[in-house]
């Protein structure tokens, strides 16, 4: 499993992920020839988050037979794998064992980024909660004392805790996966 691949449900369900791997023929057709029996295959890996992910993927790909090298682009969440030979190396299965869901790159797939949608929703919930907590805090800042101050603190906590759990969910899942597999990442 990777250091910070957030899909815990994907990691627990590797059996079904393995059943939808692209065939060797699909990978060969999607790859492009670089000359001298060298081919390059571009994969989309949406769960790449940090430098540790890049190192994990590039190191694992370099260990595969017939793979010349791999380069991960963090900003586009793509892996370019250069390989030789007639037999396609099992790089998609290897990425799956590391906890990274990978598929052949297609430009139209990246337009529906679920992670981006989840992050935008998290920012909206966090902003809504922060605004309401600030409104409740005005009375405390104005000098409310005793039971009124305590009530507003409790109401603020009741707003903040679920908002924190929801808005931080993607980071908490990433940190949990890293800790569970004995690794560190920027979310721990």
pLDDT in tens, 37-89: 898 999 988 888 888 889 999 999 999 888 888 999 988 889 999 999 888 88
> How many structural domains does the chain have?
2
Question: Residue 1 domain-assigned?
Answer: no
Q: Three-class SS of residue 106?
A: coil
Q: Three-class SS of residue 27?
A: helix
Question: End of a domain among 111, 136, 163?
Answer: 111
**Structural domain harbouring 61:** 8-111
Tell me the per-residue pLDDT of 115-131, one tens digit each, with 9 for 90 and over.
Answer: 888 989 999 999 999 99
Counting residues of the chain whose pLDDT is more than 70, the rounded percentage is 87
Is residue 140 located within the same domain as residue 156?
A: yes
Question: Residue 185 domain-assigned?
Answer: no
Is residue 145 located within the same domain as residue 61?
A: no
Tell me the per-residue pLDDT of 86-101, one tens digit each, with 9 for 90 and over.
Answer: 888 888 888 888 888 8
Residue 162 confidence (pLDDT):
96
Is residue 123 located within the same domain as residue 100?
A: no
Q: Average of pLDDT values for 13-23?
A: 58
Mean pLDDT of the chain: 83
pLDDT value at 8 more than 50: no
Q: Average of pLDDT values for 139-155?
A: 90
Predicted structure pTM score: 0.53
Phi, psi angles (nearest 5°) of residue 177: -60, -40
Is residue 93 located within the same domain as residue 31?
A: yes
Is residue 136 located within the same domain as residue 102?
A: no
Is residue 93 located within the same domain as residue 118?
A: no
Question: Residue 170 domain-assigned?
Answer: yes
Question: End of a domain among 76, 111, 146?
Answer: 111
Sign of CA dihedral 180, 181, 182, 186: negative
pLDDT value at 177 more than 70: yes
Q: Work out the end-to-end distance of the chain between its first and last CA atoms, rounded to an integer number of angstroms.
A: 16
Is residue 99 located within the same domain as residue 167?
A: no
Residue 16 confidence (pLDDT):
46
Token pair in block for residue 175: 């940190």
Is residue 77 located within the same domain as residue 120?
A: no
Question: End of a domain among 111, 136, 164?
Answer: 111
Is residue 100 located within the same domain as residue 164?
A: no
Question: Residue 2 domain-assigned?
Answer: no
Residue 18: band (very low, low, confident or very high) from pLDDT cuts 50, 70, 90: very low
SS3 of the chain: helix, strand, coil, percent, to 5: 55, 15, 30
Which has more pLDDT, 99 or 110? 99
3-state secondary structure string across 116-167: HHHHHHHHHHHHHHHHHHHHHHHHHHCCCCHHHHHHHHHHHHHHHHHHHHHH
Question: Residue 71 domain-assigned?
Answer: yes
Is residue 63 located within the same domain as residue 28?
A: yes
Tell me which H or E stretch contains 172. Answer: helix 169-180
Q: Give the single-character DSSP code of 62.
A: H
Is residue 152 located within the same domain as residue 94?
A: no
Is residue 62 located within the same domain as residue 144?
A: no
């Amino acid at each position: 499993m990777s250091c910070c691949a957030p899909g815990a449900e994907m990691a627990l369900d590797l059996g079904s992920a393995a059943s939808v791997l692209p065939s060797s023929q699909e990978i060969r057709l999607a790859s492009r020839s670089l000359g001298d029996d060298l081919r390059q295959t571009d994969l989309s890996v949406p769960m790449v988050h940090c430098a540790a992910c890049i190192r994990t993927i590039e190191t694992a790909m370099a260990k595969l037979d017939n793979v010349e090298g791999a380069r991960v682009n963090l900003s586009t969440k793509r892996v370019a794998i250069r390989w030789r030979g007639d037999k396609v190396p099992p790089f998609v299965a290897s990425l799956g064992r590391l906890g990274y869901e990978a598929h052949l790159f297609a430009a139209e797939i990246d337009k529906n980024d679920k992670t981006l949608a989840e992050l935008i929703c998290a920012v909206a919930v966090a902003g809504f909660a922060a605004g309401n907590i600030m409104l409740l805090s005005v009375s405390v800042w104005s000098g409310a004392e005793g039971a009124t101050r305590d009530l507003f603190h409790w109401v603020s906590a009741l707003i903040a805790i679920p908002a924190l759990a929801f808005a931080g969910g993607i980071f908490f899942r990433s940190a949990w996966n890293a800790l569970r597999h004995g690794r560190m990442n920027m979310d721990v």
